[in-house]
Amino acid sequence: MGTVSKAIQAFLESKQKEQLQFLIDICNQNSYSFNRSGVEKVAAMIHGHITDILSVHETDPQPRFADHHIYRVKNVPKYIYLVGHMDTVFPPDHPFQTCRIDHDLLRGPGTGDMKGGLTVIIYALKALKHVGLLKDLPLAVIFNSDEEVGSKTSCRLFEREREKALICLVTECAGINNEIVISRNGKLGARIRSQGKARHVGFGTHEKSSAILELAHKIIALESLNNSVPDFSLNIGKI
């Protein structure tokens, strides 16, 4: 291991408790995609750690979701992008709200997806600055606020920035067997509405216009599409 690598490792080891506490703190802050104020609080917590590392800060204002944020080492034509989302899937009234250490595991909303990844970004940048490498790297970091709902607004931000990208690294979780993830599927959502026709139970039930029964048939038919197309998966979510 080279001198620089040893210095980085020593720095990160010295920051283990601090890094863990930061992760616990942001996990304990609810940041459901539609909880605008909650996601903004996570953004503020990140800003407090990163503003003295990356001097160029841009905000992409949003009316519905929390704002997206871009941090850069400096203004250059091309960047190495680090990307991470601040939102999670747990509404404020969901019972899963707090982060706790359970033996050798950390359990909490977003520990893996992807507040753990945000923490990795921040402390990797701290380490690079500590050893004096950061100033020579064309780094930019994007923190978006709406990934869990399909990046409805941040997709435009990514499309705009991609022309300046040398490479993009997303620090979301690896596979369940610690595989390195090199690509992800796209996402498409749809809604099915079914309308039935009421009738008196005394007239029998074998010939009826039941919205519930029709949806049941549709659910079975749609779920059966799984494994029918390579790299395609389908899930019926909320009914």
Domain boundaries, the chain: 3-170, 189-239
Please provide the DSSP assignment of the chain as one string. --HHHHHHHHHHHHTHHHHHHHHHHHHHS--BTT-HHHHHHHHHHHHHHHTTT--EEEEE--SSSPPEEEEESS--SSEEEEEEE--BS--TTSS----EEETTEEESTTTTTTHHHHHHHHHHHHHHHHTT-GGGS-EEEEEES-GGGT-TTHHHHHHHHGGGEEEEEE-----TT-PPP-------------------GGG-SSS---HHHHHHHHHHHHHTTTTSSTT--------
3-170: CATH number: 3.40.630.10
pLDDT at 200 over 80: no
Record the pTM: 0.85
Q: Residue 179 pLDDT more than 90?
A: no
Q: Identify the pLDDT of residue 75.
A: 92
> Does residue 178 register a pLDDT over 80?
yes
With a cut of 90, say whether residue 18 has pLDDT above it.
Answer: yes
What mean pLDDT value characterizes the chain? 93
